[in-house]
Structure 1
Amino acid sequence: MENTPDFAVIENSLAVKVVDALTLRFTGEDQTGVALHELRAAHVAEVLQGLVGLTGDFDKAGVFHSEGPATSEVLVRPAKEGSFLMEVVRVVAENPEPVTVGTVLGVPSLSTIIWWATKSVRAEVKDFSRLENGNVKVVWQDDTAQEIPPAAWDELQKRTRRRKKQLRQIMAPLSDPRVTALDVASPDDDETQSQDDAPEAFELTRSDYAAVRPEDDIEEDQTIFEIEAQMSAIDFEDPTRWRVKTKDQNRSATVEDETFLRRVASGLAIRRNDIFRLRVREDATKKNGRTRTKWTVLKVESHRRSTNDDDS
């Protein structure tokens, strides 16, 4: 460890201030019962990527700064000899004017953010209420409760798929059968501890890792367009079972134009070759590489009669 750069030198050269820190300790043993002292490099890389992504999202949301984003950066300190202990610090550039970062009442630590994010995956929200101090009291389905700053609460409601990916990256070593748990802790320092209900230290296990398993890769898109078509099949009882025929395809569609449906129910004569100008919404769902589309006729813009008297 003699050639390891002194972190204080790095800190001073960058003119930064340490505002938060946490330790990640991966515990376990190999097949011979020897205590864990190494991790796969690919897993360590994922841990750091997940931490950077998670911190970046909450930093941009203003969670770490009462007056907006603090533009902080995540650094890693050298591991301590004798265990696989990863020490992560969040720093901000020094500012001659005082800023409210990391030391004010209610500003959460990195470990608290990980705790809340993991909790939101493991338990559904049962109830929440806005408090007079501006924070949000969240009651989870397991009847535990936390008081969360509004910016953090708003961010927890967003990017749920990406949040799962970030947490899975942080817990990536738990996919190794040798690793049994991840201990997350913040230093016992009053200057960096926030006043919240999250524990100062907690353990994540393989059940937590399983809870952030990625969902099916689903992409949804919606397009509205107008097109000319013929009504090739009409269902007077079920407007979701109509069929429309364009020059390119013949497909089912749901008709939501109530005015048009009432005209049909009142006896509107429709010939096979009549041309309709339709406003259509196409909902496309791409799941695991396969795309399905659904058509909904929002409005029948116009109806042009067929000139062929034999088509009835």
Structure 2
Amino acid sequence: MADTRKVLDSVTLRFDGDEKSGTDLHELRAADVAQVLQGLASFVSDFDKAGAFHDEGPADSVMLVRPPQEGSFIIEAIRMAGENWEGVAAVTGLPSVATLINLATKSMRAEVQDFEHLENGNVKIMWQDDTVQEVSRPVWEELNKRKHRRKKQLREIMAPLGDDRVSTLDVSGAPSSEDEETPPSDEFVLTRADFDSVAPTDEVEESEETFEVDGQMQAIDFGDPTRWKVRAAGQTRKATVDDADFLRRVAEGLAISSSDIFRLRIRADKIVKNGRARTTWTVLKVENHRRRAGDGTS
């Protein structure tokens, strides 16, 4: 039976260093290599499910590994799609695995100073180091979820950097293309400082739930979408409003009172750290808006 899958992109991880004898690095600890592959597969799976590799949803990606190459210690992994690969392959401008590793690693070392939802559907990120990056909305949403899990994945991918013999990890990757002159989509070097930035911290468990509910806006901050207050499901919580269209309508003068009722789609992110739980709400969508009985309609 013919294989209907197609290579969508590849990522190459090159671990450089020196053996104790002074010769070039040519072997790694098996346990470290196992962690690299486990972390990479988990990392790609999360972003695939988030729709980062295809604007119509998951690309049904499968990660395969090619034999290590000589010279330092090189691992090449390829991302393949299943039977729906034709639609996936037709989309351009989507991030490679290497690009996402670079972006996720940066998010562990630099805080987001500000962000902006663009008219093309992407999100512009302004980092505290004064650099700016534009990413798709699925990538942005995935970067803001599962922080502890993401750190663990990156720690596994960089596991050999915990070996004194290994000094750097060169990462390169590119989407599949019939044009052999197409340059890699991303090339960068990770060091032990990056490895240290994803060191495990306190024991943390993360979970999320998305639900729809009628609710009311108890407090509105026109200048900061992260400082709204929402009353729904029998509780009042500080919330981030991530519905760009709704925020635009508010900025253009949409009148809201504390008695108005909205149909909200909310994502509840729960973090349990050392036995103590904290839940935050993000309003993903404001579906509709109505007045209470006797107040008229809007």
TM over 0.5: yes
Which range moved further: 176-185 or 79-88?
79-88
Q: 1:79 aligns to what?
A: 68
- In the alignment of these two chains, the number of paired residues is 212
Question: 1: CA distance between counterparts of 2:127 and 2:179?
Answer: 27
Q: How does 1:101-140 map to 2 (within 5 A)?
A: 101=89, 104-140=91-127
Structure 1 52/108 Cα, relative in aligned 2: closer, same or farther at 3 Å? same
The answer to whether the 8 A contact 2:204-2:272 is kept is yes
Deviations 1:88-137 (A, max 9, x none): 00001244x83034x53331000001011001111000111011111111
Q: 2:203 aligns to what?
A: 217
Q: How does 1:121-270 map to 2 (within 5 A)?
A: 121-187=108-174, 200-218=186-204
Question: 1: CA distance between counterparts of 2:276 and 2:175?
Answer: 53
Q: Amino acid of the residue matched to residue 37 of structure 2?
A: L
- Secondary structure class of the residue paired with 1:99: helix
Deviation of the 1:79 alpha carbon: 1.6
Deviation of the 1:82 alpha carbon: 3.9
Runs of 4+ more than 3 Å apart: 187-193, 218-221
Question: 2: CA distance between counterparts of 1:43 and 1:121?
Answer: 21
The answer to whether the 8 A contact 1:285-1:292 is kept is yes
The answer to whether the 8 A contact 2:67-2:75 is kept is yes
Deviation of the 1:65 alpha carbon: 1.1
Question: 2: CA distance between counterparts of 1:89 and 1:188?
Answer: 10
| Structure 1 unaligned spans of 5+ | 1-11, 222-283, 294-312
The answer to whether the 8 A contact 1:29-1:36 is kept is yes
The answer to whether the 8 A contact 1:20-1:192 is kept is no
Structure 1 17/133 Cα, relative in aligned 2: closer, same or farther at 3 Å? same
Question: 2: CA distance between counterparts of 1:38 and 1:146?
Answer: 36
Q: Amino acid of the residue matched to residue 56 of structure 2?
A: E
Deviation of the 1:32 alpha carbon: 2.4
Q: 1:92 aligns with which of 81, 92, 117?
A: 81
Q: Amino acid of the residue matched to residue 196 of structure 2?
A: A
Answer 1 or 2: which has greater strand percent.
2
Q: 2:11 aligns to what?
A: 22
Q: 2:50 aligns to what?
A: 61
Question: 1: CA distance between counterparts of 2:100 and 2:168?
Answer: 18
Q: How does 1:272-311 map to 2 (within 5 A)?
A: 287=274
The answer to whether the 8 A contact 2:146-2:206 is kept is no
Deviations 1:209-234 (A, max 9, x none): 0000111014599xxxxxxxxxxxxx
Q: Percent identity?
A: 54
Q: 2:21 aligns to what?
A: 32
Deviations 1:30-87 (A, max 9, x none): 2221110000000000000000110000000111111111111000011223441111
Query: Superposition RMSD on alpha carbons, in Å?
Result: 2.8
Deviations 1:228-282 (A, max 9, x none): xxxxxxxxxxxxxxxxxxxxxxxxxxxxxxxxxxxxxxxxxxxxxxxxxxxxxxx
- Secondary structure class of the residue paired with 1:100: helix
